[in-house]
Amino acid sequence: MLHGVFRTLLECYGPQHWWPGETPFEVMVGAVLTQNTAWTNVERAIGNLKAHRALDPAVIVTTPHERLAEWLRPSGYFNVKAERLRSFCAWYRQRGGHDELAKLATATLRDELLAVKGIGPETADDILLYAFERPVFVIDAYTRRLFQRLGLVTGVEPYEELRALFEQALQISEAGQVTLFNEYHALIVRHAKEACRRTPACGGCPLAQTCELKRSHGA
């Protein structure tokens, strides 16, 4: 069933080429900043960092809090995010940057990410999948909404339970999983924004024939 949903979404929307970012570090910054905000706001904040030549862990760590927070203002909760980004960058530098971190096993790297202040499971998995190309499935609110409406989950399962469910159901080669998980998550986000919204727009939905929510409303 999960493979079928993927094929349907891919046929409808095509490849998404996600996550946007010129470097793995930019992807990581985006993952931290996208918490509780739209991606367009994150792009503006990253644009500010680039404009000030501050999209660099050493610069972020040494920039005064007030200045960094102002650059991050478009992303919302900018004071909190400035603290989180500084904490992340301090850890990132202390651990030797991307090349050294890439040598760690996925489980070890995930544990280290989760130990950084302000990094929760979804953000950690965004970083693992998109910046380090590790086979982890990202569970977000869009995923819970879509698959609850399809009748495949209750939507209230713990994060790790849902992550394991998806990873076990989509078992292929590790390299294949990275590509599949990347594209699948991006397609879920696209579909949730265009059709499976909080107030669903079911007309023309490619998954309407298998949607429990649509059937329960007698459509």
Q: In whole angstroms, how far apart are CA 32 and each of 82, 93, 115? A: 10, 16, 14
Domain ranges for the chain: 2-16+139-216, 24-131
Share of the chain above pLDDT 90, in %: 88
Band of the pLDDT at 219, cuts 50, 70, 90? Answer: very low
Q: Residue 204 — very low, low, confident or very high, per pLDDT cuts 50/70/90?
A: confident
CB atoms within 10 A of CB 198: 7
pTM of the model: 0.94
* Residue-wise pLDDT tens digits, 31-77: 999 999 999 999 999 999 999 999 999 999 999 999 999 999 999 99
128 and 177 in contact (C-beta within 8 Å)?
no
**Looking at domain 2-16+139-216, does it have CATH number 1.10.1670.10?**
yes
Q: What is the pLDDT of residue 214?
A: 61
| CATH T-level fold of 24-131 | Endonuclease III; domain 1 (1.10.340)
Cα dihedral value 24, 69, 61, 34, nearest 10: -20
According to the model, what pLDDT value does residue 188 have?
A: 97
How far, rounded to the nearest angstrom, does the alpha carbon of residue 37 sit from its chain's CA centroid?
12
d(CA 100, CA 123): 20
User: For residue 123, is pLDDT > 60?
Assistant: yes
Closest CA to 126 of 186, 46, 48, 36: 186
